[in-house]
Chains A and B, each alone.
Chain A
């Protein structure tokens, strides 16, 4: 199948509607996937007679007892959870790629004759595999660096060691963020411009270097906003009497958590909008 993306007028209103719609789509996709991924562990919690006090009991006597005596059940639950999370990742890759393609269309990206959907999907999969491998490699390098730093700085004072370790940790986040941005930009080029994987990476790198300042500011702002959303939700939920047998507090917590999830999805889509605009700019 081939396609000719339709150029849509890129107005603020259109962008807002697209952002809103894509946020809802991403949120709606995550909800069932998260629910499914959480089931194996949630079911272990429900085994036996512990009920909800297990997780909410001050002192954690029963939580530690479950970890002592039911560790085999927990271990068995982790495998399906991980599998479900991996499956969710693949499904979300399709959802976010669709969102990126849609945002690129309404932002008026160039519309060459695109390869078939299958070809584009294969290229995105190649990019995803590459990104996954690079992430693992980066993780290994970071762990090695942290370990080496911790060993090398044994004879310094604690504050100095803290600063050094935090510095290494902070610095290691930059390659991860760069990798994520490159992956998303490359996806945009594959999906909207029909590049092959290598060409998309080259374009992504050109975009990244050309729009570095804008991307860094946007990434930092969105990360800070995401943290604020999570912290805000946590702070609010902490005020709720969760051990109360009444369902009212539980309903409030459900609403707050779902609203936080929606805001997080909206922030991710906002990041996609920034990327799509950045991808368009150097080629214009």
Chain B
């Protein structure tokens, strides 16, 4: 999910950028011809393994499969459902209990773990106007004599009497490894007013986290269960979902999976969806949706959007048509036949910016796309990239959120840079702001206080999590790509994404792929950034240059210092006044690097990391030093003109 906090920050980014550009008085009316982003999208460097060897949905383990029938009361905002859950004990240990997540209970009162956390307000900005919750009427198993297992279920989450999102259900008899348990379930999901991801606003219904969902059991028999925290998302096993939905006849439905049946009977519409090898099921229903469909490659995409949102739809389609094949080329083809994209109406914006298998919700105002502020594109590509790092890889989002959100953010940066170049976040009146530049500010400015690879609940705030997990991971990976080569990192991430498809990878799997394809130095550096709060700051400490006698030559000496523990190789560049450049490579291992160079023309400047490969550098402003006074004529002229305009506008 793109955190609401971040979305809001991004929404203010254009204003901030404009204000700051006006303060710095400058560049807004300038654009360098040919610098426009989309002019030369980089080629995809990595080629994932051939499709025939990729794990596909058919190869995925079916551990938790659901067959549900649900009916929406659109007036009471209530879903009544019943069905069957088939659970395979895929661990090596007999199961004597189950853990069921009732995520919707996070919105049952202000005292739940989710809502009592200060982070929830900073994340969504919304408040709970109408509570909701999940009530299980019955949970039984034919193999256990049909007794109601729910009667013995724990009344609340472990150790938290105010929270009921993580419920232990003891079993009358253990389920041996390799055996399947079939459960009959009846439940009612009362949808809350939209706070985060799920709920209703008017007649719009975003129905996520709406059914009792089995926690994932690790191979060693530990249940990966947790109460629903506002920082965390989900973790579940793969399975097949067969869900029949009944809604008012005038409603349009979008859901996980492929629609295989639909009919209208009287005042009710019934639609049946089937999704294979997924780990969640969400759906949206609204009588205001307009539907657009396109096919991209082998994928049929359905876009559900409010009326009168043509610019938003165009931006969404542009993003999808670019990013789906682009990310497929990088990380392996998208394996499902369908993708549903829901653009919630503005009054239900809290439902936007969320990922579910084969269904994503986007967001962002329709006002911005024509102006070159890429909010909709950013949200769309981010949620789409989750189809790989959350949908297919399904790592533990509570324990290691960086594996999902961090890699997703990096993929988002990659895809949008390919589409829009340096203006991947803002390209407005000649001012180009890239996602890398904006993300780096959060990552370096705020993002080295905590360990990036921490569990979600360990971060002190959503702002901190966003800076570390989202921006920090993406900045760290961008640095690895810049220092060791984009193609090698692409190969590593491709290896990670394809090897662990449908396999719940852990952080060591990522580091192993990086070590294999980029090298042990890169893996060590990445480990330092993700796990050890490692930092680096390159700095020009000394610079001297003097003529050498009568022959006209010059001799220069630069001392470059490295602060922090991270040892990354960089280029040190001497720029002469005649335009000549002399590059020296420094391993970055020693704390100080001394460059002594003889040259014919006088020295103008020395720059560390001129290609800006090390985005992780804590201070970019001390990376260069000049012997000649730098020209600021252009900036001064622009400042002068803007002041003139201001006097014209506000003067008497």
Contacts and interface: CB of A to CB of B under 8 A. Distances in A.
A77 B631 CA distance: 19
Given A69-B619, A89-B650, A155-B202, A42 B636 contact: yes
B639 A60 contact: no
Contacts of A253: 634, 637
Contact of B436 (A38, A59, A66, A158): A59
Contacts of A93: 652
B415 interface: no
A55 B620 contact: no
A65 B647 contact: no
A174 interface: no
B652 A128 contact: yes
Contact of B437 (A50, A61, A226): A61
Interface in B607-652: 612, 619-621, 624-626, 630-648, 650-652
A157 B289 CA distance: 12
B333 interface: no
A56 B32 contact: yes
Given A42-B635, A157-B308, A158-B309, A63 B647 contact: no
Contacts of A230: 645
A161 interface: yes
Interface in B275-317: 288, 306-309
B531 interface: no
Given A38-B25, A50-B621, A243 B32 contact: yes
Given A69-B619, A237-B29, A250 B365 contact: no
B371 interface: no
Contact of A238 (B29, B201, B422): B29
A81 B620 CA distance: 27
B32 A242 contact: yes
B478 to A, nearest CB: 11
A162 B288 CA distance: 18
A265 interface: yes
B640 A250 contact: no
A104 B430 CA distance: 43
Contacts of B437: 59-61, 63-64
B438 A64 contact: yes
Interface string B83-121: 000000000000000000000000000000000000000
B346 interface: yes
Interface residues of A, number: 73
Contacts of B17: 60
A226 B651 CA distance: 14
A35 B637 CA distance: 9
Given A46-B630, A55-B635, A61-B612, A34 B640 contact: yes
Interface string A20-54: 00000000001101110111011011101111101
B30 A261 contact: no
A169 to B, nearest CB: 13
B20 interface: yes
A94 to B, nearest CB: 9
Given A48-B621, A69-B619, A157-B345, A42 B632 contact: yes
A164 to B, nearest CB: 12
B30 A265 contact: no
Contacts of A122: none
A2 interface: no
Nearest to A238: B31
Given A46-B630, A56-B27, A234-B29, A30 B644 contact: yes
Interface in B435-482: 436-438, 440-441, 444-445
Give the one of B23, B25, B431, B634 with max A CB within 10 A.
Answer: B634
B445 A68 contact: yes
Contact of A60 (B366, B432, B621, B637): B432
A138 interface: no
Contacts of B422: 58-60
A70 interface: yes
Contacts of A228: none
A278 B437 CA distance: 54
B552 interface: no
Given A48-B621, A58-B421, A30 B33 contact: no
A118 to B, nearest CB: 19
Contact of A55 (B429, B438, B638, B644): B638
Contact of B635 (A46, A159, A241, A260): A46
A35 B434 contact: no
Interface string A181-209: 00100000000000000000000000000
Interface in A76-105: 78, 85, 88-89, 92-93, 96-97
Nearest to B579: A245
Contacts of B621: 48-50, 62, 65-66, 69-70
Nearest to B623: A49
Contacts of B640: 34-35, 38, 42, 257
A11 interface: no
A20 B29 CA distance: 28
A64 B440 contact: yes
B173 interface: no
A74 interface: yes
Given A31-B644, A65-B620, A158 B30 contact: no
A268 interface: yes
B132 interface: no
B24 interface: yes
Give the one of A60, A67, A243 with max B CB within 10 A.
Answer: A60
A49 B24 contact: no
B345 to A, nearest CB: 6
A260 B648 CA distance: 11
A46 B345 contact: no
A60 B431 contact: yes
A157 B307 contact: yes
Contact of A74 (B23, B30, B430): B23
Interface in B342-372: 345-347, 365-367
Contacts of B639: 38-39, 41-42, 45
Give the one of B29, B307, B445, B652 with max A CB within 10 A.
Answer: B652
B634 A55 contact: yes
Contacts of A74: 23-24
A208 B651 CA distance: 21
Contacts of A63: 20-21, 24, 27, 433, 437
A35 B29 contact: no
Contacts of B433: 59-60, 63-64
A239 interface: yes
A74 B637 CA distance: 18
B346 A56 contact: no
B647 A234 contact: no
Contacts of A226: 648
B127 interface: no
B605 interface: yes
A92 B630 contact: no
Interface of B: 17, 20-21, 23-27, 29-33, 35, 37, 201-202, 288, 306-309, 345-347, 365-367, 421-423, 429-434, 436-438, 440-441, 444-445, 605, 612, 619-621, 624-626, 630-648, 650-652
Given A60-B422, A157-B288, A242-B32, 14 more contacts: A34-B643, A35-B643, A38-B642, A56-B26, A59-B436, A60-B17, A61-B437, A61-B612, A65-B620, A66-B24, A85-B647, A92-B651, A158-B309, A260-B641
Which 5 residue pairs of A and B lie closest in terms of their CB atoms, listed nearest first?
Answer: A51-B630, A58-B422, A38-B639, A34-B643, A59-B434
Interface of A: 30-31, 33-35, 37-39, 41-42, 44-46, 48-52, 54-56, 58-70, 74, 78, 85, 88-89, 92-93, 96-97, 128, 154-159, 161-162, 183, 226, 230, 233-234, 237-243, 250, 253-254, 257, 260-261, 264-265, 268
21 contacts: A42-B640, A45-B25, A52-B632, A52-B633, A55-B27, A55-B638, A58-B35, A58-B423, A59-B423, A60-B17, A63-B20, A66-B621, A67-B24, A68-B444, A92-B652, A154-B347, A155-B202, A157-B307, A159-B307, A162-B367, A238-B30
